[in-house]
Structures are given as C-alpha cells and as structure tokens.
Amino acid sequence: MATLKETLAKQIPGLREEAATLVKEHGDKEISKVTLRQVFGGMRGVRGLVCDTSSVSPDTGLVIRHVPCKDLPGRKAEEVLWLLLTGEYPDDASLKTLQDDLKRRGTVPDYVWKVLETMPADSHPMCMFNTAILCMEKESEFVKAYNAGVKKTEYWESTLEDCLNILAKLPAIAAGVYRLRFNKGDRIASDPNLDWGADYAHMLGLKDTEGTFEDLMRLYMVLHSDHESGNVSAFSGSTVASALSDLYYALSAGLNGLAGPLHGLANQECLRWVLKTKEKFGGVPTDEQLKDYAWETLKSGKVIPGYGHAVLRVTDPRFDAFLAFGKKYLADDEVFQIVAKVFDVVPGVLREVKKIKDPWPNVDAGSGAMLYHYGLTEFPYYTVLFSVSRAMGICSQTVLARAMGAPIIRPKSSTTAWLKNAVAGK
C-alpha cells in the first residue's frame, strides 16, 4: 500500500534521469518534419510535444499508458487517475487511500455557489463550470509554495495538491451547475460511500429506474479522461501551465477550448442532429432516408457532428464502448437505435467526400444518446460531463510536466511573406 504522492515520488527521479539522458545523447536528432501544408493546417501530425499519460494512434485510438481503451470499461475513475499519473493501477488499499483523500477534499467553498447564483440565468453551463474553477484560484497550493520560494524540483508536489483539490470538487460543482441552471431544485449532498463517478451520478439527482445510470457515468468518466496532449483542451491547458500559471488557470483555459463545437461541444451537436432525424422521419429512419439526410446536411455546408477526427482513422474505440453499453441496456430506445443506424450508414456517405480523412464515428457520436435515455435531456450540459472527466487528463499532464521541469511552451510562428520566401528558396 502506498499513497499516490509516495508512488509518484518514487518514480520521478527515474523519469527525470531518463529524459535528461535522452536529450543529452540524442538532443539533435530529427524526429519530425514540418511541411507548409501542416503550418497552414493546424499543425496536424507535427510531433512537438511529450505526453506520457496516454497516446492516440490513427489505427488504435486511445491507449492510457499501456491500457487500450477497450479494457477501460469496468474501471473506476480513481483507478484511471492513478493509472494516468503513475502508469499502473493501484492495489485495493492504495485505491482506498485516494478515494478517502478525495472525499476529504470534496467540500466546495460557499463563495463558488454565490458566484454561480449571481451569473445570468441563461449562462452556458460550460461557462458556469469554468467560472467555478477559475474563481477557486485563490486556493492554489502551488501559488503559496511558489511565493514561499519552494525549489523548482518540488513544484509538482503542490501541483498535485491542486490537482486533487480540484478533482475532488468537480463532481459536486458540475452537479450543482446542473441543478441550478436547469431549475432542478436544491443541491444534493455527496454520498460518502460512493466512488467519484457514481457520486457524480447521485448528485445530479436523475431518477434511475433501471439502476444502470451510475454504471454509465463510471464508463463516461473513464472513457473521456485523456486523449494525449495535442488536442485543443489539453494543449491549451499545458501551454497555460507552462507559464507556471497554476492548475486553476490552466484547467479552466483548457476546458474553455473543450467548449467549442469542433471539440467537446460536438456531443451536444450530435444528439441535436440525431433528434432532428427522429423528428423529421417520425422515428427511426430507413437507411435510404438517413443517407439522404446526411447528404442534405453536408450540402448545406454543415458537418455531421460526431464523425471524423484529427488523428483517428478507424472507429473510435470509445464510441465502440458506448455502443456496447447501448446494445446491452438501451436496445429498445429509438434514439439509441438511430445512433446505431447512423453508424451503419453515415461512414459510407462520408467516404464519398474525398476531403474527409476519417469517415468514422468519434467519442461524441454516441454518448449523448445514452445520457438522453436516462433523462439527462439538457444537451448544453453534456460538455460539462466531458469536462469533469477530461480534467483528470489535463491535471495529470500538468502534474507530470511540473515533475519533469517542463519549460515554457513557445513554438516559432512565421509571417506569410517569410513562408513564401522559404518555399522560393530565398
């Protein structure tokens, strides 16, 4: 048995040594080239970042440390947090120390609720959630340690404190945002006997007549937890953290990126599209109807939300996991049936659009339908659920970056004139 901090403290000297040796021996070796297309194309495929919490390859999808995504269902969020940070699962006793620690840190300061209650009633739930994180910035242990002059090699310890303090509070904050923003009544107190994901489900306060919503939330929390560090939210978070801004600033910045429709907000857009399909055809459409509707969407200049990916070139294994859950528990649900049918039909349509590199579903294609089934029908809220989970990855990446003494991120930009000269060989 060991605490998370003890486990990390043991590993960090070896990790530092490994990185230092690599740079010393191979520092000038070229590992990636950059083309002009990549410069104008959002740096797609440029290898310029280190991230050890997880990796995403075009043909396999998410692997957290050594664990492929398909093996994550059945795991609890706290186990996955430990895995992200240390590369291993905790034993039962160690897991219990982390769970108890998170419970101890879980009380949300009263001023957070006051800030949220003062926001306009039509604020986006993501704005409320990110504001809550940001307004707790004054609690940062890293800032206290930094101001006290702590050594650089010890920055990670106070960052881990911030990480655990924040993560412990996110389920209660997110559930509180849900109940306040959608007039669901009083906040529901945390249940000390529930794990992180199940407690979040409990605090949302939905009626779970089938008794499987907690399982869905556990699944949701582990599947969305990380996706290496080049995606908008993780990259934004790590860039902000690299300036030694504390984790409250960094996480809030990252999650502001998750709020965009090409990133985390796609799950709300996707369900909207599926529901429109249902309404238009009065239920589950035929393959032909669905194909026509997909073309209609594309021809009107819109994307088919939930499909395509910047890195993946296969069906996202996270989508597979949701599909399997749906087949097990939601088989009679029409919205789920449409999601399954879209998966049968839409990749064929997207394959005909030559510019689309990945015609397959991503994680957002199915998750909304699951939530909708359990009565979580307020889709502007969906990205908050995504954020609670993704915070684990962003926080873990930041703790490790601090442990490794990662420098400030500062790539070089070029003017168009410079690029024109460069390609002309001048």
Integer Cα distance of 257 and 234 in angstroms: 9
Lookup result for tokens 């069906």 = 315
Do the beta carbons of residue 221 and residue 388 sit within 8 Å?
Answer: yes
Q: From CA 329, how far away is CA 364, in angstroms rounded?
A: 19
Burial label for 88, CB within 10 Å (0-12, 13-18, 19+), is: middle
User: Quick one: which of 185, 187, 157 has its CA closest to 175?
Assistant: 187
Residue 284 structure tokens: 């589950």
Please check whether residue 116 is in contact with residue 132, taking contact to mean a CB–CB distance below 8 angstroms.
Answer: yes
Tokens of 39: 């410069």
Per-residue binder mask for ligand HAX (CB under 6 A), 307-336, x = binder: xxxx--------------------------
The one segment of 246-254, 323-331, 361-369, 392-400 that binds ligand HAX by CB under 6 A: 361-369
The residue from 262, 331, 419, 422 that contacts ligand HAX (CB under 6 A) is 262
Binding to ligand HAX (CB under 6 A) within 6-65 occurs at 44
Q: Which of 246, 263, 316, 358 is catalytic?
A: 263
CA dist list (Å): 17 to 12, 13, 82, 157, 160: 9, 6, 22, 18, 21
Q: Out of 357, 378, 380, 409, name the contact with ligand HAX by CB under 6 A.
A: 357
Among 125, 197, 237, 264, binds ligand HAX (CB under 6 A): 264
By CB under 6 A, how many residues form the interface with ligand HAX? 22
Task: Tell me the CA end-to-end span of the chain in Å, nearest whole number.
Answer: 62
Q: By CB under 6 A, which span of 139-147, 196-204, 333-341, 358-366 interacts with ligand HAX?
A: 358-366
Residue span 126-165 as binding mask against ligand HAX, x where in contact by CB under 6 A, dash where not? ----------------------------------------
Question: Of 156 and 319, which CB lies nearer to ligand HAX in the complex structure?
Answer: 319
Could you confirm whether 309 is annotated as catalytic? Answer: yes
Give min distance, CB of 390 to ligand HAX, in A: 8
- What does R_g of the chain's alpha carbons equal in angstroms? 22
Separation between Cα atoms, residue 377 and residue 293, nearest integer Å: 23
* Separation in Å, CA 341 to CA 124, 336, 361, 366, 373: 31, 9, 12, 11, 17
Using the contact rule CB under 6 A, the part of the chain among 76-84, 187-195, 305-313, 368-376 near ligand HAX is 305-313
Q: How far is the CB of 264 from ligand HAX (least distance, A)?
A: 4
Known catalytic residue at 263: yes
Task: State which of positions 222-251 bind ligand HAX (CB under 6 A).
Answer: 231
- Nearest in space to 393 (alpha carbons), one of 52, 104, 44, 47: 52
Options 358, 360, 373, 402; binder of ligand HAX; rule CB under 6 A = 358
| 167, 392 Cβ separation under 8 angstroms | yes
266 belongs to the binding site for ligand HAX (CB under 6 A):
yes
Residues designated catalytic? 263, 309, 364
Q: List residues binding ligand HAX (CB under 6 A).
A: 44, 231, 262-264, 266, 298, 303-310, 355-358, 362-364
